[in-house]
Structure 1
Amino acid sequence: MLQKFALAFKTKTIEFFAEDEEEEGEERESISAAVDLDPVPEEIITGQRVVVLKPDPLPQPPQADPETLIPALFATLSSFQAAYLHLQTAHSPLLPDAVRSADRTAVSHLRRLSDLKHSYLQNPSPSSRPVLPLSSHLQAQVQENQNLLRTFDAVVNQLQSDIDKKDAEAAALRQRLRDIEEANSKLARRLDRACAPPDGKVEALLSIGVFDSVLKDTCRVVHRFARCLVDLMKRSGWDLDLAANSIYPNVDYAKPGHCRYAILSYICLGMFGGFDSAGFCLEDSGGVGSDGIDVSTRRMNSLVQFIEHSTVDPLELISGSPSCDFAKFCERKYHQLIHPGMESTFWGDSYHGESMWGSLQSSSPLYEPFVNMASSMWTLHKLAWAYDPAVEIFQVAGGTEFSMVYMESIVRRAVMFGSDHGKKSRPKVEFTVVPGFRVGKTVIQCRVYLNDLKEAV
């Protein structure tokens, strides 16, 4: 205010003296004219003083002290933090207007920080520092608190957005669960109607086609495990011919690769061992046969177990219930098929301790294919014991003459005998590869390897 008044007073003073100078000039001209006309003696005026008025100096703004700088610095930093947080939240979901606004705000605070840096770091002497319009100490604290509130508000908004998203996902999962439960209840009602003996639905479900379909799926899984085992034997340096000869000696194979049928037979017959017992060779699962058990109860229990096991993952079942009957079945069958001597040649002593040889371990490369094969065997067994009478299993001993009623050659288009080759005798069985089954009065042929096939193959 004083500065403005001084400037105004200075201007008026200059104008006043300028007018006096103009009037004095005019008087001098008139006097000079009079002097020219009529010169008079010069008169000197004494005792006159000249007063010169000068404006007051401009007030200098106070130099910024560190007590004001530090709060301003923290307030600017908190402002930048809040602006940057708003910039981040504006990207998810993307809001272009909010992104541009937050970006401009963040840049302005960065410029403010840059000004503070250049003002107070590049000019260490207080007298040489340019004066910056810093806020007061209390104003800086208020600004910092406001920025903290904006930061908290952005965080709360982000958390609320996450909560809303999780609530939406939970609602969708609850709806999906209700749909699954409703579908399961419908399937349960259909199963109850299908398994109800008065309606005769069990016989419709337990047909020969159903058993044959499950048997073919089981054979495919066994073939996959056999391929894995054979590949592992070849990588470990095994001689497949010697291994096949140890299983079935003195067999004249039609082709060198047919020795794999002996290994497949070893796996199939080993896995199907005990198939004719209700417990599948588990002494604590009902013993052998079905004596003392009501037929309808046995059929219903077997059918329920068949359906339940068909809907679960066998790997998860073993890991979740390591003491269940299926886990015990897998452990026993693995111990019968893969003895410790085979494992030591496959992986060596460095794979795991000697105490673990002959036991099914999840770290073994054969773990997953073996569990899947055992699961198929377990499912087929439960289905077989749901029939009335239970499905019977049979196999053919070596040296038995081939019968097209009960047998099928494992080598396709290999059964060429009689008048086609001028032979009077039928070919004989070397060994059974896949056993056969009797479902009521229907026979599912066993698959065998025949001798003297070199002319037919």
Structure 2
Amino acid sequence: METIKPKSALKSKRFGKTFQKVISLRSSATKIASSNGICILNPNNIKDNKGARNRAVMEALVARLFAGVTTIKAAYAELQMAQHPYNNDSIQAADQAVVDELRAISELKRSFIKRDLDLSPQITIMLAEVQEQQSLMKTYEITIKKLQAEVDNKERNISSLKKHLHDCVSFNKSLEKKLNSSGSFSIFDNLKLSALNPTHFLHFLHHALRPIRSFVKMMIREMENAHWDLEAAVNFIHPNAVFTKPSHKTIFEGFNYPNFNVQNDQSVRHHNKNQSLYFEKFKKLKSLSPKQYLTHNPNSSFAKFLKAKYLQVVHAKMECSLFGNLNQRKMVNSGGYPESPFFTAFAEMAWRVWSLQCLALSFEEEVSIFQVKKNARFCEVYMECVTGESCDDSDSGELRVGFTVVPGFKMGKTVIQSQVYVSLVGSSSPATS
């Protein structure tokens, strides 16, 4: 027998199954949506995200503006650089860069006012940083070019000044050479032995002192370059002297003997001389250079005199200190002629002193040399003060000779004054120029 169920019970059962399916579908849909990364934000989160984006956009805008300003500065620097020297292409390129950047900034301003900024913050900031760095690099390159141009200009000025200095030195040397040349001896060209007088000797003496001073200046420069203590050297030679010329004493030694007594024959004096022979020798020597003479007369008395005086004046320790070796000394000792400026100056000095003695031996009256002793009383008849000041009676005390700078000469009754440094009695240092 079948059991008959009521219809209401069947409907209720079907509705329950349907509701359960709907719940299951919604649950599965929620899981699928969650697994796909879809989230539903509430209104508060939406407002916060919008504010953060606005701030990011503003930061990007400011970064873009700063990058634009840097670009304009770089273009302006390039514009200035192109003015000197004038470069039309660079000027136009820099001008166009300024115009383009101003237009871009103007467009940003328009978009900002209309609130129509369409910027990707991250990309915009990154591009702005790249643009700013490129502009800075360009500015630095322009600055480097500008500094390099200044360096080149200064180097050109230095080269020009060096050339000017070289020209001045060459001109001074040419003047000095003219002063020391035979042209200064025009008064001796047609001079005869019978017309010789003390004025001729004094004139040539002044000329002979020039190469002496030139050599002493060169020697002092070499001492300074070798870091010598000049004050200590001066005090060793002449205690309490402020300045000295050590060659003045030794270069004239032996002047009272023919050929400066290079053979050490003390018995030979001026009165045994042949005047005309020495006068002709003097006239021949005055037109030659020491190198020319030594080339043709390597074993002459002058060659022996030059060798003896160099070895006497320039000590071996001094030469080694000044030049780092004894090459010049060895060459001179073996009869050679060093080509150095130092020895050339020394040879010129010795040549003039040698010629001066030849002239002295040409006089009928004997010409003798004298040197004033240290601490001797100053006398204007025999002495001349090298300070250039008046050496009359001093209110501070009595004047005494510090040392002789240039010896004096006697020619009969004529006296050529000795040049001396003087000091006051009781004074710790002599007068100086």
Matched residue SS, 2:258: coil
2:233 is the alignment partner of 1:243: yes
| Residues 313/448 of structure 1: CA separation in 2 closer, same or farther (3 Å cut) | same
Partner SS for 2:327: coil
**Where does residue 327 of structure 2 map in the other structure?**
352
Q: Residue 226 of structure 1: CA displacement?
A: 0.5
Q: How does 1:19-418 map to 2 (within 5 A)?
A: 195=192, 202-204=193-195, 206-251=196-241, 253=242, 259=243, 262=244, 264=245, 266-283=246-263, 288-290=268-270, 293=272, 298-349=274-325, 352=327, 355=330, 361-418=337-394
8 Å contact kept, 2:409–2:418 = yes
Match of 1:366, SS state, is helix
Name the aligned partner's letter for residue 230 of structure 2.
Answer: L
- Tell me whether 1:434 sits opposite 2:410 in the alignment: no
Residue 422 of structure 2 is aligned to residue 447 of structure 1: no
Offset of 1:248 from its aligned partner? Answer: 0.8
What letter matches 1:273 in structure 2? E
Q: Following TM superposition, by how much is the alpha carbon of 1:454 offset from its aligned partner in structure 2, in angstroms?
A: 7.4
CA distance in structure 1 between the aligned counterparts of 2:212 and 2:329, rounded to whole angstroms: 28
Query: Relative to 1, partners in 2 of residues 1:353 and 1:375: Cα closer, same or farther, differing over 3 Å?
Result: closer
Deviation at 1:288, TM superposition (A): 2.8
Structure 2 distance, partners of 1:357, 1:322, is: 11
Distance 1:450 1:319, change over 3 A: same
8 A contact 1:211–1:384 mirrored in 2:
yes
- Residues 382 and 417, structure 2, Cα contact 8 Å, conserved in 1: yes
Q: Distance in 2 between matches of 1:342 and 1:290?
A: 34
Aligned length: 241
CA distance, structure 2, for counterparts of residue 410 and residue 397 of structure 1? 16
Q: Distance in 2 between matches of 1:231 and 1:338?
A: 15
* Superposition deviation, residue 222 in structure 1: 0.6
Q: What's the CA shift string for 1:91-124, capped at 9, x where partnerless?
A: xxxxxxxxxxxxxxxxxxxxxxxxxxxxxxxxxx
CA contact 1:279–1:285 (8 Å) conserved in 2: no
Q: 2 CA distance for matches of 1:353 and 1:406?
A: 38
Correspondence for 1:27: none
More helix by share: 2
Report SS of the residue matched to 2:391: coil
Distance 1:272 1:454, change over 3 A: closer
Specify the code of the residue in structure 2 equivalent to 1:203. Answer: S
Deviation at 1:414, TM superposition (A): 5.0
1:48 is matched with none
The aligned residue for residue 52 of structure 1 is none
Distance in 2 between residues matched to 1:354 and 1:209, nearest whole Å = 38
1:417 deviates by: 3.0
Distance (Å, rounded) in 2 between the aligned partners of 1:354 and 1:375: 18
8 Å contact 2:387–2:431 — kept in the other structure?
Answer: no
- Residues of 1 paired with 2:252 and 2:352: CA distance? 11
More displaced 10-residue stretch of structure 1: 241-250 or 267-276 = 241-250
Q: Where does residue 178 of structure 1 map in the other structure?
A: none
Instruction: Give the partner amino acid of 2:194.
Output: E
> 2:67: which partner in 1?
none
Is the contact made by 2:256 and 2:270 (CA closer than 8 Å) also made in structure 1?
A: no
Q: Is the 8 A contact 1:285 1:325 kept in 2?
A: no
Q: 1:454 to 1:323 in 2, by over 3 A?
A: closer
Structure 2 CA distance for aligned equivalents of residues 339 and 278 of structure 1: 25
Report the secondary structure of 1:396's partner residue: coil
Q: Deviations over 1:142-187 (max 9, x none)?
A: xxxxxxxxxxxxxxxxxxxxxxxxxxxxxxxxxxxxxxxxxxxxx9
* SS of equivalent to 2:259: coil
> Partner of 1:430: helix, strand, or coil?
strand
- Larger mean CA deviation between 445-454 and 281-290 belongs to 281-290
Distance 1:208 1:270 in 2: 24
Distance in 1 between residues matched to 2:362 and 2:224, nearest whole Å: 40
Whole-angstrom distance in 2 between the partners of 1:331 and 1:355? 11
Conserved? CA contact 1:435–1:446, under 8 Å? yes
What CA distance in whole angstroms lies between the structure 2 residues aligned with 1:306 and 1:230? Answer: 31
Residue ranges of structure 2 left out of the alignment (5+ in a row): 1-185
Measured after TM superposition, the shift of residue 279 of structure 1 is 2.5
Could you say if the C-alpha distance between residues 429 and 330 of structure 1 is closer, same or farther in structure 2, counting changes exceeding 3 Å? same
Counterpart Cα distance in 1 of 2:328 and 2:393: 53
